[in-house]
Structure 1
Amino acid sequence: MQNEIKSKQPLLAGNGSLAEPGWCRRNLYAYNIGARARSIWRLKEWDFYQISNGRVMVQLNLFNISLATCATFGLVDLQTGEKLDTLCLQPLTPHKNRLNPNGDFPNRTVFSQGKTHLLFNTTDSAHDLQLSTVCGGKPLRCAFHCARLQPHESITIATPFAEKGCFFYTNKINCLATEGVVTAGEKTYKFSKSDTFTVLDWGRGIWPHKNMWYWANGSTYLNGVPFGFELTWGFGDESAATETALFYGGVCHKLGAVSLEHDPQEYGWMRPWHFREENGRLDLTMTPFYDNVTDLMPLGLAGMKTHQVHGLWNGTVVLDDGKKLQIENMYAFCEKVHNKW
């Protein structure tokens, strides 16, 4: 079942559970969290932007998990493995720094703490991202202009869990052609919209303490037409809708469930990953070239452990009208994440 939401409606019922699980092409849910949160201390909100040209990747994130609000910056040279990262944290923020209610429509988010100043500004035509902070004792500044298509469909999904009052509400926006610059000390990294794309991972939710997900995403040009895919699974009850879609020329083409032939955790992170969609509309193989490992789970007690594997993708996908697209050496990534938080 793929329950498409086609009109505006509240996200949550009075008891804090999802009013109607499903998916939509634009974010039509009203984020009416208010006093409906099962526990304000378990509420998580984030605006996460990942920018890459296949050689250098930048991650900009602002999240509020009630215990703290944090602005983070990460840069990885996917060819050499060189990394830059920094964060600015403000503790105990359950009733402040609550993030915007809808990342798919115009909004403005500002965070300032000490020497860190972050601005995410969304309009109908673009997402503009700015950050100034300190990294390794040196000034770090970045600015990105991420252009939206007209129209620009995406995928929003509201997923329940078996545990009462738990939900995952997210909007993924692909195919944001991006230009920008990062200056870190004496180093400068430039990004051109000819080969750089951004994905926005906008999320809100309350979920069980222990969980796992797969997330694969990528954008490129196919014969000059913007193309992308969003594949997330393993997180919550997907019986009403799966978080799986293709994007072509600004239009969303909904997919069914996607699975991997082998679990990379057992099969090997740097061996080929083979993805299939249940109706035969996606058959892709990723050949990895870099594994970005983040282990924020000390002693395995609490936190997050991520293998975000970057590679070249080959195979075929099928649009809603039956048109088959050939994918050749497309740069994209897939991650497997374990959480205890």
Structure 2
Amino acid sequence: MKEYFREILSNPLDLVTAGQINFGCFPDSISNINYLDANRPFGIPTPKAFKYLRLKEWQAFQLGNKDFFILIAVYNAKLISINQFILYDKINKQLFKYEQRAPFWKTKIANNLLNSESKFSNKNFKIEIFNNLVNNLVSIKVDIKKTGKLPPIKANFEIKVQNKLSKAIVVSIPFGKNRGMYSFKNLAPVNGKLEHGKAKVYFKSENSFSIMDDHKGYYPYNMKYDWVTGASIEKGELIGFNLTNNQSINPEKFNENGLWKGNKLYLLPPVKFIRPNGTDNEWLIRDQYNMVELSFFPEVHNKIKFNIVALKSDYSGP
């Protein structure tokens, strides 16, 4: 069987040049994610206001150590935004889910990661993400008041981003002739402190990880993707992966699959997700190059369901 290869292109100055989206795999974050300048991404002339309302945007983090897993996400689907802080206590197998849904204009997603902010804030729920890739830093502040039976949350995290060339998965993937998605994914150590009710948990870089996903795209109305990511620290070495099967029109050339190991990024081929017994049971993730053979067993489930005018979601994510 032939060896898998995916070309890494030189970084463009802008994601969109003269109306055309630059598709490919890149070595570094792109400083100007100017999707609104794309010419006819939906096949017909459309004003920028329409293109803005069709652009899905989010910034999300998976943080973890041997005892806890955390998901932090600010997600703007337009029409509605969803903001989440999810804590999973692996020792006691307890899930704590905090979520605020709001009008889309209440949630801000950064245009780039160089010197910017993504945030959602109201009197009871605040997530602030400060991006400073110029200095290879990202910091997160969370302040959530007691909600029903859920205790209050306060958290501060600092991520030393591995932003050397080709350490992040940076892709622009086509869904059509001039329509697609952009993503920057990075694995890095994290330092921080979590206050959960009366409990205090410290995250130290020698035993804690962060996977960041900065994501924007002109997804189809019927948006579909399968995704699994994970990380750990083995004998002092940070190891992680990202595997996605989305609506790429050429996944052999354009995908966001990779393995981080030994301070290196190894690009991986397209994968398929097989769930013979549904999403609540074992997932089988496989490729055609014998590079990926993963079995995933969900422990808990995070479902997002809504149906608002032309926007519907039926998302199931462990």
Alignment of 1:37-52 (within 5 A): 37=48, 39-52=51-64
1:207 is matched with: 219
1:108 is matched with: 117
Name the amino acid aligned to 1:64. Answer: N
Q: Give the whole-Å Cα distance in 1 for the aligned partners of 2:305 and 2:93.
A: 19
Matched, 1:4 2:13: no
Matched, 1:169 2:182: yes
Q: Give the whole-Å Cα distance in 2 for the aligned partners of 1:170 and 1:277.
A: 21
Q: How has the CA–CA distance of structure 1 residues 151 and 41 changed in structure 2, closer, same or farther, with 3 Å as cutoff?
A: closer
1:311 is matched with: none
Alignment of 1:1-341 (within 5 A): 2-12=6-16, 19-28=21-30, 30-34=32-36, 36=38, 37=48, 39-93=51-105, 98-103=108-113, 105-123=114-132, 124-137=135-148, 138-149=151-162, 151=164, 153-162=167-176, 166-174=179-187, 176-237=188-249, 238-260=251-273, 263-264=274-275, 266=277, 269-271=280-282, 273-280=283-290, 282-286=291-295, 288=297, 290-297=299-306, 302-308=312-318
Sequence identity percentage: 17
| TM-fit CA distance, 1:269 | 4.1
SS at match of 2:258: strand
| TM-fit CA distance, 1:47 | 0.7
SS at match of 1:101: coil
| TM-fit CA distance, 1:241 | 1.7
| TM-fit CA distance, 1:165 | 5.5
Structure 1: give runs of 5+ residues left out of the alignment: 309-341
Name the amino acid aligned to 1:191. Answer: F
Name the amino acid aligned to 1:6. Answer: S
Name the amino acid aligned to 1:304. Answer: D
SS at match of 1:220: strand
Q: Give the whole-Å Cα distance in 2 for the aligned partners of 1:29 and 1:2.
A: 22
Q: How has the CA–CA distance of structure 1 residues 265 and 210 changed in structure 2, closer, same or farther, with 3 Å as cutoff?
A: farther
| CA deviations over 1:273-331 (Å, ceiling 9, x no partner) | 44444333x243335261424142579x92132132xxxxxxxxxxxxxxxxxxxxxxx
Name the amino acid aligned to 1:131. Answer: V
Q: Give the whole-Å Cα distance in 1 for the aligned partners of 2:302 and 2:111.
A: 31
Q: Give the whole-Å Cα distance in 2 for the aligned partners of 1:20 and 1:160.
A: 9
Q: Give the whole-Å Cα distance in 1 for the aligned partners of 2:107 and 2:280.
A: 37
Q: Give the whole-Å Cα distance in 1 for the aligned partners of 2:301 and 2:104.
A: 29
Q: How has the CA–CA distance of structure 1 residues 298 and 205 changed in structure 2, closer, same or farther, with 3 Å as cutoff?
A: closer
Residues 243 and 258, structure 2, Cα contact 8 Å, conserved in 1: yes
Q: Give the whole-Å Cα distance in 2 for the aligned partners of 1:257 and 1:21.
A: 17
| TM-fit CA distance, 1:14 | 5.4
Residues 88 and 113, structure 1, Cα contact 8 Å, conserved in 2: no
Q: Give the whole-Å Cα distance in 1 for the aligned partners of 2:255 and 2:225.
A: 13
Cα RMSD between the aligned structures?
Answer: 3.0
| TM-fit CA distance, 1:131 | 0.9
| TM-fit CA distance, 1:132 | 0.8
Structure with higher strand content: 1
2:45 is matched with: none
Residues 275 and 284, structure 1, Cα contact 8 Å, conserved in 2: yes
Q: Give the whole-Å Cα distance in 1 for the aligned partners of 2:201 and 2:294.
A: 30
Q: Give the whole-Å Cα distance in 2 for the aligned partners of 1:258 and 1:193.
A: 31
Q: Give the whole-Å Cα distance in 2 for the aligned partners of 1:150 and 1:39.
A: 30
Residues 157 and 171, structure 1, Cα contact 8 Å, conserved in 2: yes
Structure 2: give runs of 5+ residues left out of the alignment: 39-47
| CA deviations over 1:207-237 (Å, ceiling 9, x no partner) | 1111321212222334433222221113322
Q: How has the CA–CA distance of structure 1 residues 223 and 85 changed in structure 2, closer, same or farther, with 3 Å as cutoff?
A: closer
| CA deviations over 1:227-268 (Å, ceiling 9, x no partner) | 2222111332225322111223332222222234xx215467
Name the amino acid aligned to 1:126. Answer: L
Q: How has the CA–CA distance of structure 1 residues 32 and 196 changed in structure 2, closer, same or farther, with 3 Å as cutoff?
A: same
| TM-fit CA distance, 1:35 | 5.3
Q: Give the whole-Å Cα distance in 2 for the aligned partners of 1:229 and 1:241.
A: 17
Runs ≥4 residues deviating over 6 A: none
SS at match of 2:127: strand
| TM-fit CA distance, 1:31 | 0.7
Q: Give the whole-Å Cα distance in 2 for the aligned partners of 1:223 and 1:117.
A: 36
